[in-house]
Structures are given as structure tokens and as C-alpha cells.
Structure 1
Amino acid sequence: MASLVRHVTIDCSDPYTLARFWAEVLDGTLGEDDNPGDPEALVESAGAALLFIRVPEGKTVKNRVHLDVQPQDRTRDEEVERLLALGATLFEDHRTPDGKGWATLHDIEGNELCVERSAAERAATEAATA
């Protein structure tokens, strides 16, 4: 039998604060025993479990792995605005005039994430080109 991914682990300087940010992004829950100052914090959501671990060094280069998020009940652009309001920053905008593309953001510690189109947006584009 193959291995299963239990959670994705993200190194960071403040596990609790970063986990709270991602819990909001993913509509997830923070572990009941996670508190400010803890060396790790866990977020569980319908799509993924993320474990945040404190490390002494800061982020210095582009992540080799990042998360792509797809909004479920809003458009890609509405989701970008929601994440910006949570403290993310826009890094690179790959959205195109025809509605395709994605936006690359940085979370509150500078980790990259991409916001893709929702399933409804993808279906509308496919229907328009069919």
C-alpha cells in the first residue's frame, strides 16, 4: 500500500499567527491545543491539513512548493480581495482579460500561494468556447 499525505508542513517564524491566517483562508479549524507562542500549530480543513512549525531562519528565496487555492462560493477575483483583506499581498498578477489565469499572492510570512478560478468560472469559460 502506498503512503498517504497526512498534512503539508510549512516552516515559519510564528506558527500560531500563520495558522490563524490559513484557517481563515481555508475555512478550517485551528487545533484546540494550539496557542500563541507554541512551536507548532495545525489547521484542518475539508481540502487539506497544514502543519506550521517554528524554525529559526527566515524565508530567503521563492518556495519550491506552494498551495493553489480554488474558491468554492465566490469568484477568483472576490477571493483575491478577501485574502488581501486578511493580510496577504499581491505578488504577480497572471489574470487575463478573457477571465483566465491566476493571481500569485504572498501570505503574511511571504510564502507564495496562487488563487485560481472557481469551478463555476471554469465551466462558464468552457461553455462559452464550446
Structure 2
Amino acid sequence: MTSRIRHLTFDCADAWALGGFWKDVLGYTDHPENEPGDEEYLIIPGDGGPGLLFIPVPEGKSAKNRIHFDVVPQTGTRDEEVERLLGVGATQVSDHRRPDGTGWVVLADPEGNEFCVERSRAERSAV
């Protein structure tokens, strides 16, 4: 017997705002059972993979994430994706890009959860 991940759950202050940010980042869609006024907010990928569930909690984030996402642009470059994500509300935490084009950038979502932006598949295969 094994288990499968159904949802990855974010504790947060504003479920719908944070879920909307991640929906923009990942191209996910609303779960069909989401209804305005619900406290929780679920977004899902088109491929049947795990959804992201956002649940409001009273306490704020207090330390570095013990787990985080590494995202890869599906089109364009890492640097273009970093600029896009900054434009939708991310903030830059640290920059690990190297002169040879390798490396990654650490961003944070609007509630401070860190995630990394890596090079696209095309960028990785061009080296």
C-alpha cells in the first residue's frame, strides 16, 4: 500500500489572495467547488496532480520554510519569469545566478513563503 499527495496546504492570512497569487504563478484553475465566501480556497492543475489548498490561520509565518517549491518556466527564460513573478506580487529574497547563466533566484510570495525560480528546460539543455 502507498499514499499519494492530494493537496499541498498553505496556512495563511488570506486564503483567496494567496491562492490567487499561486494560481497566476502556476496556471492552476479554481476547484469547481470553490464558492465566494468560503474560508478555504483550492486551486488545481489541469493534469490531475496535487492541488494547493489555502486555509486561513490566526498566526503569521515565523521562520524559514522547511519545504518549498522550485518552479521552472514553461516558456521563456528564468530571468523573464523572475520579472513576471515580481510583477504579480512576489519579492526577491536572494539571487544565486552565476555569470555562466546557471543558478536560481529565491522569491517570496505575498505572505513570505520562499520559493526558487530555476532555469527553463531550454536553458538547461543549451549548456
TM-score (norm 2): 0.92
- Number of residue pairs the alignment of both structures matches: 125
Match of 1:60? 62
1:1-130 to 2 correspondences below 5 Å: 1-35=1-35, 37-45=37-45, 46=47, 48-125=50-127
CA offset at residue 87 of structure 1? Answer: 0.6
Distance 1:18 1:109 in 2: 7
Amino acid at match of 1:2: T
- The structure-2 alpha-carbon separation of the partners of 1:89 and 1:35, relative to structure 1 and needing over 3 Å to count, comes to farther
Larger helix fraction of residues: 1
* Residues 5 and 50, structure 2, Cα contact 8 Å, conserved in 1: no
Distance 1:60 1:29 in 2: 29
* Aligned residues with identical type, % of pairs: 58
- The amino acid of 2:76's aligned partner reads R
Q: CA deviation at 1:35?
A: 4.8
Distance 1:116 1:42 in 2: 25
Answer whether contact 1:30 1:43 (CA < 8 A) is retained.
yes
Q: Quote the Cα distance in structure 1 between the aligned partners of 2:74 and 2:116.
A: 15
Gaps of 5+ in 1: 126-130
Q: Given residue 73 of structure 1, which amino acid in structure 2 is its aligned partner?
A: T
User: How far 1:32 moved relative to its partner?
Assistant: 3.6
What runs of 5+ residues in structure 2 fail to find an aligned partner? Answer: none
Q: How much does 1:38 deviate?
A: 2.8
Which AA in structure 2 matches 1:42? L
Paired with 2:8 and 2:61, the residues of 1 have a C-alpha distance of 17
TM-score (normalised: structure 1): 0.90
Residue equivalent to 1:128: none
Asked if the contact 1:15/1:38 (under 8 Å) is kept, the reply is no
